[in-house]
Amino acid sequence: MPELPEVETVVRGLRLHLPGRRIVELRLGKTDFMDDPVAIGERVPGSLIRAVRRHGKFLVLELEADGAARGELLLVIHLGMTGQLTVVAADTEVKPHTHVFFMLDDRRELRFCDPRRFGRMLVATPADGEKILGPLGADPLEVSETDFRRLITSRRARIKALLLDQTVFRGMGNIYTDESLWRAKIHPARLGANLKPGEIKKLHRAMRAILKEAIRLGGSSISDYVGANGEPGEFQIRHRAYDREGKKCFRCGAKIRRMIVAGRSSYFCPKCQRAPRVL
DNA sequence: CGTTGAACCTGTTTGC
DNA sequence: TGCAAACAGGTTCAAC
Residues of chain A above pLDDT 70, percent? 99
**Has residue A67 got a pLDDT over 90?**
no
Domain with CATH 3.20.190.10 in chain A: 4-133
Domain boundaries A145-268, CATH class: mainly alpha
Which residue approaches B2 most closely, CA to C1'? Answer: A157
- What tens digit of pLDDT does each residue of A188-246 get? 999 999 999 999 999 999 999 999 999 999 999 887 788 889 889 999 999 999 999 99
Which residue approaches C12 most closely, CA to C1'? Answer: A118
State pTM to two decimals: 0.96
- Which pLDDT score, from 0 to 100, does residue A259 have? 96
CA to C1' distance (Å), from A167 to B6: 22
Dist. CA A176–CA A5, nearest whole Å:
9
CA dihedral for A60, A32, A226, A219, sign (positive or negative): positive
| Residues 163-202 of chain A sitting with CB below 7 angstroms of strand B | none
Residue A34: burial class (beta carbons within 10 Å; 0-12, 13-18, 19+): buried
- Which pLDDT score, from 0 to 100, does residue A173 have? 97
Gap between the terminal Cα atoms of chain A: 29
Candidate CATH numbers 2.30.30.30, 3.30.1110.20, 3.40.30.10, 3.20.190.10; the one for domain A4-133: 3.20.190.10
Q: What is the DSSP string of A122-186?
A: EEE-HHHHHHHHTT--B-TTT--HHHHHHHHHTS-SBHHHHHH-TTTBSS--HHHHHHHHHHHT-
Q: Is A3 a catalytic residue?
A: yes
**Has residue A170 got a pLDDT over 80?**
yes
Domain with CATH 1.10.8.50 in chain A: 145-268
| Residues 133-162 of chain A sitting with CB below 7 angstroms of strand B | 155-158, 161
- What tens digit of pLDDT does each residue of A7-53 get? 999 999 999 999 999 999 999 999 999 999 999 999 999 999 999 99
